[in-house]
Amino acid sequence: MNLLILGRGKTGTLVAEVARERRHQVQVAGAADNRAHAALTADKLAGVAVVMDFTAPSCVMGNIEACMRAGKSMVVGTTGWYEEIERVRKTVEESGTGFLYSPNFSIGVNLFLEVARVAGSALQHNYSGQIFERHHASKQDAPSGTAMAIQRIMQEAADKGEELEITSFREGDVVGMHEVVLESAADRIYLCHDAKSRRGFAEGAVRAAEWLVGKKGFFEFKDVWREV
């Protein structure tokens, strides 16, 4: 299928590489190619099956709105826009397109989130919890979308109102590490996911785009990753 990837950063570049390996036709648009969303008109998107966004929080909402106007389905890996989720959901439903997003498309991270959900019950048994996340120095948002997902999942599992503290580090070229520490008077529990490369994320994102073709609606990767 024909994919348009927005973003020429490390992740967008690797997503394009994986998509080509999986025999898809790939176009890539960087910031210079997409000023004022010039790459996202109906004419420019003719023949594109899915638009994949790996840009920045400052421009992702404009990209989403342009794609919805053009009637194009999207996979969005950019974070930093989640306060607008309900507005985007409504726009997707009105446009009759498909939309799939995630703070992290790695299968390993999604397995980790399932473990974190179970571990969240420890907060009902006199454990306190903290979340630590480390990413490369150029990552623009903090805390990471994945860390916030861990926080939300564990608090829902524990049915507790107080938030688990998230501590963020931005250093070097760290791909992504997320750690949960649960502590009681008797012991400590450590949960950790350490990404060795961005490839797992890229492969999951491309498989998500393949899954989305022909579907309409608003989806989260955490709900469909077992199917891709």
Q: Which DSSP string corresponds to 112-131?
A: HHHHHHHHGGGGGTT-EEEE
Question: Among 37, 135, 178, 193, which one carries the catalytic annotation?
Answer: 135
What values do phi and psi take at 99, rounded to 5?
-145, 130
Token pair for residue 129?
A: 């919890």
User: Is 193 one of the annotated active-site residues of the chain?
Assistant: no
Where do we find the tokens 């790459």?
A: 39
Helix (H, G, I), strand (E, B) or coil at 32: helix
Residue type present at position 110 = N
Which of 78, 58, 193 lies closest to 145 in space, CA to CA?
A: 78
Question: Among 10, 139, 160, 216, which one carries the catalytic annotation?
Answer: 139
User: Is 136 one of the annotated active-site residues of the chain?
Assistant: no
Give the catalytic positions in this structure.
Answer: 135, 139
